[in-house]
Copies of this chain bind each other. A is one copy, B any other.
Amino acid sequence: MAIRPAEQLIHKAAWLYYAHGLRQDQVASQLNISRASVAMYLRKARETGIVNISTSTQLFTDDVMARRLEDALSLDAVWIAPENDYVIDPSTDIAVLAASVFLELVRKGDRIGVAWGRTIYTIADIMSYADLQDVTVVQLCGNLGAPYSYRPDQCTMEIARRLNAKGLNFYAPLVLTTEALAHGLRAEPVIREQLSGISDCDLALYSVGTVDADSHVVKCGALSVGEMALLREAGAAGVIAGQIIDASGKALDCSYNRRVISAALSSLRQIEKRLMVVQEDSKFEPLLAALAGGLCTHLVVGARMAKRLLEHAGAATEKAS
């Protein structure tokens, strides 16, 4: 890169502007460049994460409902995106919040596991840039064979790029045709290493998928609509990192799961901070399953979903007493 001299200038401009609080024209005369260039450098500084602008997500945890949900579900932290109030775009609203929360949870030196899906990709897409050295972003599950819009490796790489972090992809298909082949592939050193490294993560980011025809695993061709219907009858309740879970949050005992190359649920549970983000209201049952399976310690949801969860939890304790 010939951006070496510019790199230095970007730093200096950012420093004078943001740390010292000079105006752009003052910075310009300091560095003997035009003000327009300063403006451009500053944009680059923001885009590369040399400067970091973050807003506290306090507001969303302060919500009484969030507190009650934390208690009811015994989660570490819950963020609720308001949905009636001052909303811009209901779908990106949760993603924006999730991105902020995510950045708030990341620490230098962390190892981060990232799953895939529309939700995750949306988050990656709107996430602001940061300059986190020594962060590694690892892919939690195998790739889709067919080109599909929100591929696991894309999610991983995009988040790594935003964070200036190292991205660790692994190039295995998400699902294979035979159990034997999956077994063999999992034993491959490259794959095995990646899979066993997942429990060393400090933070995981994932969503949960539905088990109907709209599910991503169906849309990307990993499962046919018919197979999915059958699995559903067999007790499938949700999809986590490409794997089917039942209502209790355990991996469903089925051929499909045995043919999948992905992080074992037990490895996921070993990750200290498991951030789950749910956008769609239709993911209520899958979310319940994930919660039952202890696959989530930090939760970002919309207000409607929060309300339903709370009502459900209330009904459950009533029934119990």
Interface on A for B, CB 8 Å cutoff? 8, 11-12, 14-16, 18-20, 22, 30-31, 45, 49-56, 58-59, 86, 88, 96-97, 100, 107, 131
Give chain B nearest CB distance to A9 CB in angstroms: 10
Contact A59 B20 (CB under 8 A): no
Give chain B nearest CB distance to A81 CB in angstroms: 10
Closest to A49 in B: B56
Which of A8, A55, A97, A107 counts the most chain B CB atoms within 10 A?
A: A55
Q: Which of B20, B51, B55 contacts A51 (CB 8 A)?
A: B55
Closest to A17 in B: B55
Closest to A131 in B: B56
Contact B19 A59 (CB under 8 A): no
Contact B59 A11 (CB under 8 A): yes
Q: A52-B53, A53-B52, A54-B52 are in contact. Are A15 and B88 (CB under 8 A)?
A: no
Query: How many copies of this chain does the complex contain?
Result: 2
Cα distance A31–B87 when bound, in Å? 10
List 18 additional A-B contacts (Cβ < 8 Å) besides A11-B59, A18-B54, A52-B52. Answer: A11-B58, A14-B55, A15-B55, A16-B88, A18-B53, A19-B55, A19-B96, A19-B97, A30-B86, A31-B86, A49-B56, A50-B55, A50-B56, A50-B58, A51-B53, A51-B55, A51-B56, A53-B53
Report B-chain residues with C-beta under 8 Å of the C-beta of A8: 59
Closest to A52 in B: B54
Which of A11, A31, A100, A131 counts the most chain B CB atoms within 10 A?
A: A11
Give chain B nearest CB distance to A250 CB in angstroms: 34
Give chain B nearest CB distance to A13 CB in angstroms: 10
Contact B86 A16 (CB under 8 A): yes
Report B-chain residues with C-beta under 8 Å of the C-beta of A52: 52-56
Cα distance A11–B86 when bound, in Å? 12
Q: Which of B19, B22, B96, B131 contacts A58 (CB 8 A)?
A: B131
Report B-chain residues with C-beta under 8 Å of the C-beta of A54: 18, 51-52, 54
Which of A16, A53, A96 counts the most chain B CB atoms within 10 A?
A: A53
Q: Which of B11, B51, B59 contacts A15 (CB 8 A)?
A: B59
Report B-chain residues with C-beta under 8 Å of the C-beta of A20: 88, 96
Report B-chain residues with C-beta under 8 Å of the C-beta of A31: 86
22 A–B pairs (Cβ distance < 8 Å), ordered by A: A11-B58, A12-B59, A15-B55, A15-B59, A18-B54, A18-B55, A19-B97, A20-B88, A20-B96, A22-B88, A30-B86, A45-B55, A50-B58, A51-B53, A51-B55, A51-B56, A52-B54, A52-B55, A52-B56, A53-B53, A58-B131, A107-B107
Report B-chain residues with C-beta under 8 Å of the C-beta of A11: 56, 58-59
Report B-chain residues with C-beta under 8 Å of the C-beta of A53: 18, 51-53
